[in-house]
Amino acid sequence: MRAFRKAASLSISELGTKAGVSNGMISQIERGLTNPSIKTLERLHIALSVPLTAFLENAPQELPTAPSEVVRRAGDRPHLRVGSEGMTKELLTPRGDHHMQLMIIGLPAGAQSSEVLLGEGEKAGWILEGSIELRVDGETCQLSEGDSFQFSSALPHSITNSGKIAAKLLWIMRVNPAEAHL
């Protein structure tokens, strides 16, 4: 994060103002003292004009962004734990600034999604293992292995695994190029 901020010639205070994130939070992220939420990362990637995936990579990219790659090797996939219920995300999208993101989401039995990003674009998925309950704009449906879905990402949505075994799904997001708004 510090490298991206310095490449943009921004102070912590300037980045905080531009992203709508507190200076203290930015400082803690840069020093590795906290793990920011997905929403915070979304604000920072817009303010810094770097791909969201740049924050999730193990190896630093060239600044401000690296040339796009077309392949993501299985051993090079960032794995994230999201929320307090054990939800995991495995990034499949190659490095670079892509408008479509692919990931595998793992959802333990009894868990539900917490923080979801809303905005212009679409989300879709395919249930690889287990079953989930998908809620989109107040409507709920049960999905099992092999079922798929697609909806506008501007609609409120969540997923829950009310089953007795872990669920795994391919999650696809197409996002429109982001603009920073204060």
Sign of the CA dihedral 38, 77, 176, 12? positive
pLDDT at 49 over 90: no
The DSSP code for 63 is: S
Contact 30, 22 (CB under 8 A): no
Say if residue 50's pLDDT is above 70: yes
Distance CA 175, CA 38 (A): 14
139-155: average pLDDT: 95
State which of 5-19, 39-53, 61-75 shows the largest mean pLDDT.
5-19
Question: Does residue 175 register a pLDDT over 80?
Answer: no
Residue 70: per-residue pLDDT:
83
Mean pLDDT score across all residues of the chain? 83
DSSP string, 94-156: PSS--SEEEEEEEE-TT-B------SSEEEEEEEEESEEEEEETTEEEEEETT-EEEEETTS-
- Name the pTM for this structure: 0.67
pLDDT at 66: 42
Domains of the chain plus CATH, in order, are 2-49 (1.10.260.40), 74-175 (2.60.120.10)
Per-residue pLDDT band at 56 (split at 50, 70, 90) = low
Residue 34 in this model has a pLDDT that exceeds 80: no
Q: Report the pLDDT averaged over residues 130-151.
A: 96
